[in-house]
Structure 1
Amino acid sequence: MTARFPVLVFDLDGTLADTAYDLIGTLNVLLMREGLTPLALETGRPFVGAGARALIERGFAHQGAALDPERTEALVRDFLVYYEAHIADESMLFPGALAALDRFKAAGFRLAVCTNKPEGLARLLLEKLSAADRFAAICGRGSFPMHKPDPRTLWLTVEAADGDPRRAVMVGDSKTDIDTARAAGTPSVAVDFGYTDTPVAAFSPDRVISHFDELWDAVASLEEALFQRAIEAS
């Protein structure tokens, strides 16, 4: 691959966008349909971030309801149909995210999304949030034969964005994101406001930020190492 642009690759749920309200809201529709008590946002928030199937399994288990594989598959299908129709009822970009994207894009960075959310839903959400046009590539589950934490998912996302893999940074909120970046040989910046019940610093990302206003300096602090890596590989 011909290297051209520095690239920032973002996770979506819990990193760029606070989607817990609509994800838990969709889960609650299924729970109530089954005669179970809906979850409070604070209870369900740690269940978000690993995909619809895991969210359903965690939510039903919390309410003491066992699910067999066939029933789980049916619930996943119902979840995705309802969620697509309500994908941005309450979801929003985290504070400072849009300004940060615009600053990096103006500075010549390519921007990309690498999420385990289905690609179609990721694109729809970013369109609803008026952010899709910032990204050179939006990749999700179904874009490639594999998904995070397989490092090939990150490599292929960088390639789709016409980015330089030697000057790439992964921005995420979870162990999965950090493990993906580490396996790909890519530095990682973790946000500490995402969806993990373990403090994200425990997973040893290269940098941790608490607001998108801090992202520029976090990436700048990695630039010297990134430039050196590019020089050594050239």
Structure 2
Amino acid sequence: MTGTVVFDLDGTLADTSADLIAAANACFRARDLGDLLHPQDDALIAFHGGRAMLRAGYGRMPSDRLLPPGAEDEDFDCLLDHYGQNIMAHTKLYPGVENALKQLADDGHILAVCTNKPEALAESLLRALNIRDAFASMIAADTLPHRKPDPRTYKTTVERAGGKVSRSFLVGDTETDRKTASAAGVKVALVSFGPEGTAIERLAPEALLHHFDDLPALARDWLA
């Protein structure tokens, strides 16, 4: 019997951190603040979303600088606009993604994406990466009135793909994914090749995924 494998996007299927940080830095430069985030050192912040990046940068501003009211909302729009125009400048799939997706499909599994990235950007990125057609459904931050870690988001992703929640699991990279899986009552495999490395084990996932080559076997085990 087949099952459904649900993927997070940023930090799980693709390393998008450099392009996300570049977008945040573009907004900081527009305020004459310079580049407040580092492409490598702040990669983990990038995977927590646009507002997390902006707030991290604001925390590094010179003490004599004050932001005007509504600055974060203005900068968030700026960030999304810049990112949308430069969505594939540095982004790459993690090694083994394409082969893993093909093998999972060949094994009869349904594939889906559940991300907190805005839907238009998620669609654009998946198509630019040439993997959109691999997924039966894709639920993003603004697809529904709620988002991860709300379990309804995950459950809707599985159901729209034509699968059953009881025969599914999540592949992700952050605490949000850990909480989503727990709330939905499913297992989660967290990748160990992101910014946290194997330290992600602190979140007690049911499995650590060290390379996408290992995913088809894990799916056979969990969904057998």
Q: TM-score, normalised by structure 1?
A: 0.88
Contact 2:3 2:109 in 1 (8 A): yes
Q: RMSD across aligned C-alpha pairs, in angstroms?
A: 1.9
Percent identity between the two aligned chains: 37
Show the 5 A alignment for 1:1-234: 6-38=3-35, 39-64=37-62, 67=67, 70-196=70-196, 199-224=199-224
**CA deviation map 1:205-232 (0-9, x unaligned):** 10001111111222233235xxxxxxxx
Q: CA–CA distance in 2 between the matches of 1:14 and 1:206? A: 18
Contact 2:2 2:223 in 1 (8 A): no
What is the CA distance between 1:42 and its match in structure 2? 2.0
Q: CA–CA distance in 2 between the matches of 1:111 and 1:68? A: 44
Structure 2: unaligned runs, 5 residues or longer: none
* Structure-2 change in CA distance of 1:66 and 1:141 (3 Å): farther
Q: CA–CA distance in 2 between the matches of 1:86 and 1:172? A: 24
SS at match of 1:152: helix
Structure 1: unaligned runs, 5 residues or longer: 225-234
* Structure-2 change in CA distance of 1:32 and 1:188 (3 Å): same
Q: CA–CA distance in 2 between the matches of 1:48 and 1:69? A: 24
Q: CA–CA distance in 2 between the matches of 1:195 and 1:135? A: 25
What is the CA distance between 1:30 and its match in structure 2? 1.4
Q: CA–CA distance in 2 between the matches of 1:47 and 1:36? A: 19
Runs of 4+ in structure 1 off by over 4 angstroms are: 64-69, 195-198
What is the CA distance between 1:58 and its match in structure 2? 1.2
SS at match of 2:70: helix
Q: CA–CA distance in 2 between the matches of 1:61 and 1:138? A: 34
Farther-moved stretch of structure 1 (99-108 vs 213-222):
213-222
Q: CA–CA distance in 2 between the matches of 1:163 and 1:187? A: 15
What is the CA distance between 1:43 and its match in structure 2? 2.4
Q: Which amino acid aligns with 1:32?
A: R
Q: TM-score, normalised by structure 2?
A: 0.92
* Structure-2 change in CA distance of 1:62 and 1:43 (3 Å): farther
Higher strand share: 1
- Residues matched between the structures, number: 221
Contact 1:174 1:196 in 2 (8 A): no
What is the CA distance between 1:196 and its match in structure 2? 4.7
Q: CA–CA distance in 2 between the matches of 1:69 and 1:130? A: 40
